[in-house]
Structure 1
Amino acid sequence: MPDVPAPSEDDPSDDPHEPQREGDRIVLTDPRALRALAHPARTAVLDELYQGKVRTSSQLAELTGLTPSAMSYHLRALEKWGIVVRAESVDGRERPWAAAAKGFSLSGRDAAQAATDTVVGLYLDRLGRDLATWRRAEPTQGEWSDTSQVSRGFPWLTADELREVNAAVMAVFEPYFVRDATNHPEGGRRVAYLFATAPLVEDAEPSGSDDGP
């Protein structure tokens, strides 16, 4: 895990904040909450816990290559924003951590641009690594070998239609969020997805354009 400084904006000693909810999902719109996610260790923690797993801070520290004290700081910051919660201890010793919902989404409303860009970049990087790992394993995966898909397109939509598309896609996934490692159909496996839509800014200059002579 890269040695990236923790976001300085989030002080775990502050009062906790309740995130917005849509069904069993958390919707993060507060710029400060988005800044709290802008760290690779924290996105790794969320990937682990939002698979339905329950982990102690020591286990998460080992997963991310951080010290237990550093991981405790990150977990308290995520707890502050209602993204993770304490779970019941199994053996009465260290209390583990769990996801606060079945899933979470980032919303562009009132979002801090830099923080949103950082979080999206972290998740695009993780998805790229997941796809690369899958491509290496795919020839041996039998019935799963043709199930991965990456799709990109440019349909014309109104603002209301785009909101409807976003809601419809999440509605398709919604019934499956109740499943976890102990509750899923035989033959099922975890699947990574990252759904994103972005209205194109037609007059924007191409990224990396050279304005020099």
Structure 2
Amino acid sequence: MTEQQPRSIRLTDPRALRAYAHPTRMTLVGLLRRSGPFTATQAAELTGESVASCSYHLRILAKYGLVEQAPGGKGREKPWRATAQFTEWPDHSEDAAVAEAANALSGAAIELYFRRVLRAVENRHTLPPEWKEAEQFGDTLVHLTPQELAGLGRRIQELLRPYEDRDLDPARRPEGARPVTFVRIAYLDREFPEGAPRTVHPRGAAGDDEEQ
């Protein structure tokens, strides 16, 4: 990717939202953003999918503007690249079709995050001690208004933004920098009655008696 490309692409067409809600397609876009450009053959090597499958999924992604063919390549082996650094979609919509497709995409993304987090936990024993200490697994229950929650999200995004250029330009990465996925999930928790006391475990799972 180049810095001239847009920071994000926003999907609002229900067909595009449904098309992107596929784990292989989300994986391909993520790989292209970090390791692209690459061909369908190289995509197959990275994902374990067949070349034909990757080629098909890349064409679907191109149809909705998420990827495009990059310069270079020989014969039919054309490289692909992502069109933006991030993908956005509506949090809510008055259009029932858009709302349904956006919710389905959010669910698919969460499932993909969950599988990746599980793999990270399973392989955590192989990490150096400093990375084990730096990684974060936990939750905190706080009482917020909708406006406060939205503002908190903006502040977190502002904290992360100075590091985004490092993904595009390896020269900006300090020695020892490694790719880190920072997943942000905040939701209205209806499992806890309003006003009920709860012990906060900064690094443990909700309801656990011990920190992890």
TM-score (norm 2): 0.72
**2:68 aligned residue (60, 85, 103):** 85
Does the 8 Å CA contact 1:58/1:68 hold for their aligned counterparts?
Answer: yes
2: CA distance, partners of 1:144 / 1:129:
15
| Contact kept in structure 2, 1:54 and 1:96, CA below 8 Å | yes
1:157 to 144, 154, 176: 144
Structure 2, gaps ≥5 residues long: 1-5, 94-98, 194-212
Structure 1 residues 92 and 69: alpha-carbon distance in aligned structure 2, compared to 1, 3 A threshold: closer
Q: Which one-letter code corresponds to 1:194 in the other structure?
A: V
Contact preservation (8 Å) 2:21, 2:104: no
1:188 equivalent among 172, 177, 189: 177
Q: In the TM superposition, what is the alpha-carbon distance from 1:149 to its structure 2 partner?
A: 0.4
The equivalent residue for 2:186 is 197
Q: What is the deviation of 1:202?
A: 5.5
Contact 1:89 1:96 in 2 (8 A): yes
Correspondence for 1:123: 113
Q: Which amino acid aligns with 1:121?
A: E
RMSD: 2.7
2:162 to 175, 179, 186: 175
**What corresponds to 1:26 in structure 2?**
9
- Please tell me whether residue 166 in structure 1 is matched to residue 156 in structure 2: no
Q: Equivalent residue for 1:40?
A: 23
Letter in 2 for 1:199: L
The alpha-carbon distance between structure 1 residues 30 and 93, as it changes in their structure 2 partners (threshold 3 A), is closer
The change in CA–CA distance for 1:142 and 1:122 in structure 2 (over 3 A counts) is closer
**Residues 144 and 120 (structure 1 numbering): CA distance in 2 closer, same or farther, change over 3 Å?**
closer
Q: Secondary structure at the match of 1:179?
A: helix
Q: Residues 105-157 of structure 1, C-alpha deviation per residue, up to 9 Å, x if partnerless?
A: 45422332334322321222122212322x1212xx15333110012122111
Q: Please give the secondary structure, in 2, of the residue aligned with 1:98.
A: strand
Instruction: Write the mapping of 1:91-102 to structure 2, written as runs, cut at 5 A.
Output: 94-102=77-85
* Bigger Cα displacement from structure 2, 82-91 vs 70-79: 82-91
| Aligned-residue offset at 1:54 | 2.1
Q: Per the alignment, do residues 69 and 35 of structure 1 end up closer, same or farther by CA in structure 2, a change over 3 Å counting?
A: same
Any idea what SS the aligned residue of 1:85 has? strand
**1:37 positional shift:** 2.4
Identity %: 35
Q: Determine helix, strand or coil for the equivalent of 1:51.
A: helix
Change (3 A) 1:190 1:89: same
Instruction: Tell whether 2:53 aligns with 1:70.
Output: yes
Q: Corresponding residue for 1:19?
A: none
